[in-house]
A and B are shown apart, each in its own frame.
Chain A
Amino acid sequence: MKALAALSLRYLWSRPLTAALNLLLLTLGLASITFVMLVSTQVDRAFERDLAGIDAVVGAKGSPLQLILAGVFHIDVPPGNIALADAQALQANPQVAQLIPLSLGDSYRGFRIVGTTPDYITHYGAQLAQGALWAAPMQAVAGAQAARAAGLVPGVQFVGSHGLGGGGHAHGDTPYTVAGVLAPCGCVLDRLILTASESVWQVHEKATAVDEEDRKALQAEREITLALIRYKSPLAAVTFPRFVNTTTDMQAAAPAVEVTRLLRMVGVGTDVLRGFGAVLLLAAALSVFIALWGAVRERRADLALLRMLGASPARVAALLVCEALWLALLASVLGLALGHLLTGLVGWLLQAERSLPLSGWLWVPAVAWVPLAAAGVAMAAALIPALHARRMDVAQLLNTR
């Protein structure tokens, strides 16, 4: 067995250019499949984690998908605001078990400042790494990633800027003080800065009110951006969104429905990438096949001589299969490494945009199919040459004049 492996490797490298080309083709195919698997698994996981326990999102009328992306994943801008009073009315609805208000609008160094209640942190089961929760308005708790990137530790003061993208008007006269930092939870909270809803109101009332009377008026018209809702019973899914959409100025969107819709749209992209990988693999299979076929023709005499020296037909065929399997093994290692590297690179780029968390240093069980696919491709390519080598007419070797 060892002799077979060693000999087939020598034969493989006796034609280095062909071997390198086949290795490259196989590696690229496997790398793109690895990449697609890693990305889609992580996106699915992130969606699943961030969506867990949220039955509906209520916000201003507009695109339901936008509402979900803005409210749950914090990767889009919200459609608008809703009146605090309207949200409070929903809180009293018998079908609603819990309502978490979220107020968006400001950011610090690209990380969103979200006004909410401590329920939001409890909902994702996040733990404090340092400090404490906010006890008063204008105190903030930073998510792990935001804290690390923006250098936020308890006691530090920072000034939010208007707008979600950064670069807006700085609310210089109302600085926040960091009260605590969350431990990484692997969820959306990692890249948020949380504070009390009152803080957000205070910042904007102070910024826009001209006098005390004006401020009172603004207080009466307080708004939140959206609310995350958990139902008391699953039955509410049937009636609650329709109730909100028809009887109020707000809309209710079901994240499960919208995310399915989104994944179907994005799914076209991953399908294309997966198809691309499959085409590359097919090209690699063909190339390996042609290389092995050429090897059989070129080395027909060598192989016949092996038979003459007493090697069984199966042993000669095994030599070719083994040669293909070497390619598969090398390409699997390189393909997996390249796929993970690529995912890591994309994750690094996305992190710079404060978008979806994506890591290349992660083992996804589905990726175990990659070496299997490589072996399958190699075996398929080796099949016909190997059969041909098995049925070779050795006696003809004696006839070549």
Chain B
Amino acid sequence: MIRTQGLRYQYPKGPQLAFADVDVPQGATLVLRGNSGSGKSTWLALVAGLLTATAGALTVADAQPGALAQAARDAWRARTLGFLPQKLHLSDALTVAQNLNLVYFAAGLPVDAAAVAQALAALDVADLAARKPSQLSGGQAQRVALARAVLLRPRVILADEPTASLDDASAAAALQLLAGSARQCGATLVIATHDRRVGETLAGAMEYRMGAA
């Protein structure tokens, strides 16, 4: 669940961004559209608690990330959010399984090897657990990154440009996988994209067009 009211963010030495109010129920999908510089990243950063809104109210999964202290906010993010970055950011110093273990390290939790294996198996990449990310194909790497995002069964999943540089068939498959994973966790899914195909593939998704506020 994500709800905003009169959300604004003022960059210290830059423009002020005002965002339209949204109300996404828990488990729904929101497609965040807009061109580069339209404020998509800022909105994502606000929802993730990486930035604090200058004005307005923001509720993400029953919490106000802007109202939490730094340490509590980091802990909240670890528990609540799953994140699928565009560049995936799988560390090549580690194996696939170890990359997933990072989630536990970051959250300060003991590693649950069974959960890691299960998350990899759910995305059909269990046999890649011992490989280095550089040995994976693009599609495999995205599955691994998605497994990492859903490992702690988050309430909200943020995906940044998940279909960039994918052909139509792959993009559709990636989106189905993403939506399916979110559904399994019962998570609210936010997809930031400028790809028209996303809205077409995910029928029934809410759409929020940036720059239209």
Residues of A participating in the B interface, judged by any CB pair closer than 8 Å: 3-4, 7, 10-11, 14-15, 299, 301-302, 304-313, 315, 394-395, 397-401
Contact = CB atoms under 8 A, between A and B. Distances in A.
B104 A10 contact: no
A299 B36 contact: no
B198 to A, nearest CB: 17
B160 A398 contact: yes
A398 B85 contact: yes
A306 B70 contact: no
7 contacts: A7-B105, A304-B89, A309-B77, A309-B103, A310-B74, A398-B50, A399-B41
Nearest to A302: B91
A398 B107 CA distance: 20
Contacts of B104: 3
Contacts of B83: 305, 308-309
A310 B87 CA distance: 18
B23 interface: no
A306 B102 contact: yes
Contacts, number: 88
Contacts of B36: 401
Interface residues of B, number: 37
Contacts of A312: 70-71, 74
Contact of A310 (B94, B107, B160): B107
A397 B105 contact: no
Contacts of B206: none
Contacts of A311: 74, 78, 105-108
Given A10-B98, A11-B93, A312-B70, A398 B106 contact: no
A315 B93 contact: no
B41 A309 contact: no
Closest 10 CB pairs of A and B: A310-B78, A14-B93, A309-B106, A311-B106, A395-B45, A398-B41, A305-B89, A395-B50, A310-B77, A302-B91
A333 B165 CA distance: 50
Nearest to B51: A395
B207 interface: no
Contacts of A310: 74-79, 81, 106-107
A304 B106 CA distance: 11
B44 interface: yes
B63 interface: no
B105 A308 contact: no
B48 interface: yes
A365 to B, nearest CB: 38
A321 to B, nearest CB: 15
